[in-house]
Amino acid sequence: MLRVRCLRGGSRGAEAAHLIGALLGRSVAGWAQRVFQSTSSAAAAQPQHAAEEEHVTESAPQECPVCSYNEWDPLEEVIVGRAENAHVPPFTVEVKANTYEKYWPFYQKHGGQSFPADHLKKAVAEIEEMCNILRHEGVVVRRPEPIDWSLEYKTPDFSSTGMYAAMPRDILIVVGNEIIEAPMAWRARFFEYRAYRPLIKEYFRKGAKWTTAPKPTMADELYDQDYPIRTVEDRHKLAAQGKFVTTEHEPCFDAADFIRAGRDLFVQRSQVTNYMGIEWMRRHLAPDYKVHIISFKDPNPMHIDATFNIIGPGLVLSNPDRPCRQVDMFKKAGWTVVKPPTPLIPDDHPLWMSSKWLSMNVLMLDEKRVMVDANESTIQKMFESLGIQTIKVNIRHANSLGGGFHCWTTDVRRRGTLQSYFH
């Protein structure tokens, strides 16, 4: 039987349809003749009842469930992470390089153990409420599998315990109808993909493309074991010199260091994303997409979406504390660069893996609706001044695990087409 799958949206779907139209006329006759000859020969050697078994019932071709080109088209389906069973990662060199000095004793004491139970319980409840609100807004919500992250594992190169499946944005990026699994750099996250595999296999069976980037060995050579971090000044100096805890031993990247705007993706070299990882993505996505490296005055670069968050066509939030060194490039392209207000999160609220700037780590439901923290009244007013309705949700305790709304989600399907927004 001839099966034709029409892919949703974008130039690839259009090209597929165009190609089928051009080739169908001259290919069907030859194909049918070959099939007839093959089946006729087989029929001569098989009992009569074998022909009856060939009759199958075929369902109509279905739309690919995975399709997303940017951060703002109308959101239809999303993966939301889980706080359940979340564990503190062991205090290894790559964890030290990505966390603030005041929390180092916390990691030294609790590494390999559960995050504080009461705090975790509140985070779980907040994310459940976030899921309910997303469903109320018409979005299909999917979740990773609950896994026991306390189990110790060992490879030929290292041993570790796990961490969580809280931040799908870190491990999964959707580009068109393709899901890409990122080769993340933390040893505690080596097996994190297992929580998402049932979902990804389901999407694959329904027509999505599925790519796993080269899995790093995470051998000692991937990390600068003598990375000299003592003060914030050290971090600024090292970052300005282009020195990071991850080396160029093998490709690694967190998906959250990339942000999408149609045919253009923007990425930063960070503590968890190296140039080999960026180059792998560049080659993999070419020629349909361009990958642009941008940088910031950031003492601890890890994940771009609390520093530079694209929220609409030609509209980006740019962290005033971490200015983009290439901001003029965006202004010349006609983009509007908005500086969000200072976050309101209290100093005594624990943020074990992130800064207060999670306030700008928002999730766009479409160009005119944004999911924003209920406690951040100043950024709510900023969005309202831009004509964007705010969907207010409280995830303060979930923030402590290292992410805002954008981090806690991976958009699987947005209603839109592949376009260029950066010229």
Which residues are the active-site residues?
254, 303, 407
What is the DSSP code string of 280-335? Answer: HHHHHHTTT-EEEE--BS-SS---GGGTEEEEETTEEEE-TTS-BTTHHHHHHTT-
Q: Which of 418, 301, 369, 368 is nearest to 12 (CA)?
A: 418
Residue 59 phi/psi, 5° resolution?
-75, 160
Q: What is the total residue count of the chain?
A: 423
CA neighbours closer than 13 Å in the CB half-sphere of residue 193: 23
Handedness of CA 385, 390, 393, 398 (dihedral sign): negative
Is residue 14 classed as helix, strand or coil in its secondary structure?
helix
Q: How far is CA 373 from CA 115, 167, 344, 381, in A?
A: 22, 17, 10, 12
Dihedral, 84, 217, 305, 63 alpha carbons, nearest 10: -80
96-104 own/partner pairs: CB under 8 Å, 24+ apart: 96/227, 96/229, 96/245, 97/227, 97/229, 97/244, 97/245, 97/271, 97/300, 98/186, 98/245, 98/271, 98/272, 98/300, 98/302, 98/353, 99/352, 99/353, 100/300, 101/229, 101/230, 101/231, 103/350, 103/352
Structure tokens at 245: 């805890």
Judge whether 123 and 398 are in contact, CB under 8 Å. yes
Beta bridge partners of 181: 172, 212
Judge whether 191 and 163 are in contact, CB under 8 Å. no
The three-point CA angle 175-173-239 to 5° equals 115
What is the DSSP code string of 331-370? Answer: HHTT-EEE-PPPP---TTS--TT--GGGGG--EEEETTEE
Structure tokens at 121: 């319980």
Give the C-alpha separation, 165 to 195, whole Å: 7
Is residue 101 classed as helix, strand or coil in its secondary structure?
helix
